[in-house]
Structures are given as structure tokens and as C-alpha cells.
Amino acid sequence: MKSDSLTSLPAFRQLQEHAQTVAAWQMRDLFANDPARFGKLSISAAGLFLDYSKNRLDAETVTRLLALATACRLEEKRTAMFDGQTVNNTEHRAVLHTALRVPRSDIVMFEGNNIVPDIYAVLDRMERFTKKVHSGEWRGYTGKPISDIVNIGIGGSDLGPRMVCQALRSFHCPRPRVHFVSNVDGHDMSATLQTLSPETTLFIVASKTFTTLETMLNAGTARDWFLQKGSQSDLAQHFVAISTNTEAVGAFGIDPENMFPFWDWVGGRYSVWSAIGLPVALAIGFDHFREFLAGAHAMDVHFQNAPLHINMPVLLALVGIWNRNFLGMASVSVAPYLQDLHYFASYLQQLEMESNGKQITRTGKPITYATSPIVWGNVGTNGQHAYFQLLHQGTDVTPIDFITALTPSHSLPGHHAALLANCFAQSEALMLGKTEEEVKADLKALNMTANEVAFQTPHRTFPGNRPSNTILLPQLKPDSLGALIALYEHKTFVQGAIWDVNSFDQWGVELGKVLAKTIQAELENQAEHPHDASTSGLIQLAKSALN
């Protein structure tokens, strides 16, 4: 598409005209006028349930959005991804993370070869390794079994497995304990190492290229810490790598036999299904890891085959397009009412913002319309006591994705009913609001004076009409979590397809990395380079402190 082709599409212009009418709609009235609205604007797929009825739209809006998706050739682009075509056009790569979770009997062709046997060769190695660690067959250099795993990675090599390990905490094996270090800030590594013993700790160094600055600095620190007690020959029992760079892995001191590979067609933020998920398998056991893959595959099958009008990822994406491009909403808040999804908002920040935070089309033309919204959030009910005030009465209207499970993984009485009540009440309150008349009636019932009622009323009035989706899981389990993650992966793809961006590169991340290397050399008195006055001043202050 040309740089302005999205906005010039008749389907886009028709949605713009429709949005002018919708701007005056009140969701209160939409529900009151259509008792069947909930059933019409909700959908089930791969074990999940999506209610998108609390958005400022109707069936006509959805039909128009589907027409836009068709005009943007969504189905053709979806087929291209699943077929292994070069959809990541700036890096000249296919995008086949969905192949990582197909059954062993499936066939996925890429460059003339069925890649499923290669995928399962790695999965089988992961399973054997996981069982050796769990059984105690894999031991440290003094003969003691492994008690702790430290995953060293960053970005997709950290956020995915960290989020999943936390989310599936209820399914963790008794041992080993799994830790994550990603930040180049030495406080992170230092605090982690203080709790560990070199004799019983296994490090997983996760980096596709094995050159990632933060990861390799942390890995080097871990190796130095280990070598204070163990020897160079002992490294093989305490360090494994997840990488594609055999030479660099060997140069670091890791036995290439202890390297778990993955492929260029697996993007970092889509890689938890690959060997990058090794810490997940170690945490929850390989049987549960298989269930995790199967849940994602169920959503893949639905996304690939369901018609657009009954396709959950497509509908979730189109609601986001509607709120972003036609109603002007600049951010999306994610509110999982599940404590174990503590890292889910952070995970989605990378998935959506790194994928679709672009101002250039796939052909390199400037974009004249909004792309990825800002994604942010926290678990409920904590968020209610932090930022929900802004969501209810702030000057910006922010759509929210509420996520919860109908059944808990604990047996504590009363807690889950309270959690669900808060989740459902917040979406209802954001939609309904509270009118001036309702507030006055409540205040008068408290026997307030007329002057006090007049003063208090505007402060306690809620505009309402604020959109949200609610996603229900039957229970937070490996399969339902897999389906949930795949749902958002495909939502991200659909939105990128409509915005005509490459959702699978991240060149904006690279510039800061390059400049950081230059500045680090200056801080270590190895070189000097010209900078702007601010950066030069900051460097000088830091050098004074460091030296």
C-alpha cells in the first residue's frame, strides 16, 4: 500500500463517517435498547471467552471494520505468514513461531523442507534435559543435584519465560527454583547470586546471536562468580546456552553439546515456544510445557481457519483499530484480575509496542495515521487503588482489557468471588458511569445540605461510556495461558497488517545500543567522542563519580 492508501480506502472513509455518528452514543443506551447485545458481541474460541460488548460500537460498526480488514488483504497476509513467506521483509525472514507448537504429526513446509522434525528434535532434547535435572541425574561439579536455575537474557529471551513462569506458579515442580536476570544494572545480578551456591546452580544464557550486550555482560559476571569456586572444566555442568551461534557459545566456555538452537524465523518476542522456553519447562515440567504449546496451537487453528466475523483475534484487533484510529484513544490498559499474571502487561508492552510502534510502512513510506497505542497496566485489584481514578474520571479515555479466570487455583474461601466481583464491577462502572441526577439523589439521601450537594456533585459524577473488553479463562493453566498469549500474538499481527507495518522487526531498539557502546568506552576512559552539551555533561558527572 502507498503511504496514504489506508486512509484513502473507501472502507476507512466510511468508518470515519460512521465514527462521527457513534461519537454521540452512550453505551448505557445501547444496552438498554438491545437486551441481546452481550450475546451478539461476544465469542468463544480455544477455551477462552471474549466479551467486547462494552465498546462504543454495534453490529454495523463491526461489519464496517471487517470490510476494512478485507480491503487490507488480511486473509492473504495471514496465509502468507502461515505459509512461511518472507513477511519480515526488512530482515528477509519468514515468521513461523506458530510452527513451534504444531503436533508432531503435522507438516510445515519451509524452503522445500518439512521443519516439524527439526522442531521436535529440539523439543525432545529439552525434554531429556528437563528430566535429567528433575531426577537429579544432571548434577553439579561436586555431585550435588541442581537446586536453582538462573535464566540470563533480555527482551524476548526474558519477558516471555519470566511471565509464563510467574503465571504458572501453581504448577511449579518442587525443584529447581527458577530465577531471572535481565537488567544490566549489577544490583539485579548481585542480589540473585547472593542467594545461590555455585555447586547447585545452573545458568541458562539465552541470546540468539550470543552478542547481546546486556546478556553477555551478565553471563560473564555469572561465569566469573562460578569460577571463584569451580574450574573451567566444570562450566559444562553449570552453563547451557540457547543460541544460533555455536562458535560464540564455544568461545564463551559452554560445551556446544549444551546448546539448544532455534531459528531465524523465530522472532525474540515470539520465542517462548522455542528453546527460549527451557526455563518454563524446568519450572513446570515437560508435560505441562506440552499443554502450554497445545493451548497456543488451538488458538492458531482458530485464527487460521475461522471466518473473520467469528475470529477472536481478528475481532479483538478490530475493536482496537476502532478505538485507536476512529475514536482517537492513544493508549490501552491491561488489567489482569489474576495475581500470577503480574508480568503480563509488561509482556504485552514488548509484543505490541515493539511490533507495531512504527511510523514507516512495509515499503518505507511515512505513515499519516496512528499505529500502536501505548500499552500499560497492572494486576487488579492493585490497579484500582493506583490509577483507576484516571480511567474513571481522567481527561483521556483509555480502553481496558480485563482478564480473569472463572476458577481459581487455590482453595481459600471468599477470595475469588471478591476478585471476580471487582473485575466485573469495574467494567460495569466504566461503562455506566454515574450521572449528575444519580449523584444528587445519593447525596440527598445522606441528608446533606443543598449547598453541600451542589458542591459535591461534580466531584462525584462519572462520565462513563468508557470502553473495555473482558477475557475469561476457565482457569489459569498451561493450555489456557498458551491460548491467551497466542490470542494477543495474532491480534498484534492483524493490527500490523491493517496499519501496513512490519510487525516483526525492531530497528528502533538498535540506535540506543550503538550509542551505549560508545558512551561506555568513554566512561571507562578508553575513548572520547563529541556529544551534545547535555550528554557530555552527564558523561563528565558520571566519570567523576566512577573514578
Percent pLDDT > 70 in the chain is 99
Neighbours of 37 (CB within 10 A): 17
Q: Please report which residue ranges of 85-151 form alpha helices under DSSP H.
A: 116-135
pLDDT tens-digit series, residues 187-241: 999 999 999 999 999 999 999 889 888 999 999 999 999 999 999 999 999 999 9
Would you state the cell numbers that stand for residue 156, as one nine-digit string? 524476548
Question: 46: which 3 cell numbers?
Answer: 480455544
C-alpha cell at 482: 498458551
CATH architecture of 5-84+291-432+466-505: 3-Layer(aba) Sandwich (3.40)
Q: How far apart are CA 481 and CA 540, in angstroms?
A: 48
Query: For the residues 491-505, what does the mean pLDDT come to?
Result: 97
CA 383 to CA 401: how far, in whole Å?
13
Taking a C-beta distance cutoff of 8 angstroms, is the pair 178, 279 a contact? Answer: yes
Assigned C-alpha cell, 354 = 515493539
In 3D space, the residue among 101, 170, 84 whose CA is nearest the CA of residue 486 turns out to be: 101
pLDDT tens digit string along 170-199? 999 999 999 999 999 999 999 999 999 999
pLDDT in tens, 372-384: 999 999 999 999 9
**Strands 113-114 and 109-110, how do they pair?**
antiparallel
Catalytic (active-site) positions: 354, 385, 513
Return the closest-CA partner of residue 267 out of 509, 542, 513, 17: 509
**Is 259:278 a contact under the CB 8 Å cutoff?**
no
Give DSSP secondary structure letters for 381-444: TGGGGTTHHHHHHSSS---EEEEEEEE-SS--TTHHHHHHHHHHHHHHHHHH-B-HHHHHHHHH
CA pair distance 230, 139, nearest whole angstrom: 13
Q: Mean pLDDT of all residues in the chain?
A: 96
- Average pLDDT, integer, range 47-53: 98
Q: Is the pLDDT of residue 3 over 80?
A: no
Whole-angstrom distance, CA of residue 517 vs CA of residue 510: 11
Sequence-separated (6 or more) residues with CB below 8 Å from residue 332:
320, 323, 373, 374, 375, 376, 398, 399, 400, 401
8 Å CB contact between 476 and 338: yes
Quickly tell me which residue has 462525584 as its cell. 460
CA distance 473 to 417: 15
Burial of residue 42 (CB within 10 Å: 0-12, 13-18, 19+) is: middle
Domains 5-84+291-432+466-505 and 115-284 share a fold: yes
Res. 365: pLDDT tops 90: yes
Q: Domain extents for the chain?
A: 5-84+291-432+466-505, 115-284, 508-546
Confidence tier at 4 by pLDDT (50, 70, 90) = low
Task: Assess whether pLDDT exceeds 70 at residue 134.
Answer: yes
Closest CA relative to residue 182, chosen from 209, 226, 219: 219
- Picking from 200, 196, 195, 188, the residue whose alpha carbon sits closest to that of residue 152 is 188
**Count of Cβ atoms closer than 10 Å to residue 500 Cβ:** 23
Is the CB of residue 453 less than 8 Å from the CB of residue 147?
Answer: no
What's this model's pTM, rounded to 2 decimal places? Answer: 0.96
CATH H-level, domain 115-284: superfamily: Glucose-6-phosphate isomerase like protein; domain 1 (3.40.50.10490)
3-state SS, 78-101, equals: HHHHHCCCCCECCCCECCCHHHHH
Q: Does the pLDDT of residue 76 top 70, yes or no?
A: yes
Cα-flanking dihedrals φ and ψ of residue 354, to 5°?
-75, -30
> Helices 74-82 & 59-71, crossing angle to 10 degrees?
60
Task: Report the greatest alpha carbon distance in the chain.
Answer: 83
Q: Poorest-confidence range of 19-33, 288-302, 411-425, 497-511?
A: 497-511
The sign of the torsion formed by the CA atoms of 306, 19, 29, 27 equals positive
d(CA 3, CA 1): 6
**What value does the mean pLDDT take over residues 456-475?**
97
Q: Give how far Cα 368 sits from Cα of 7, 8, 290, 319, 506, Å.
A: 8, 11, 43, 20, 20
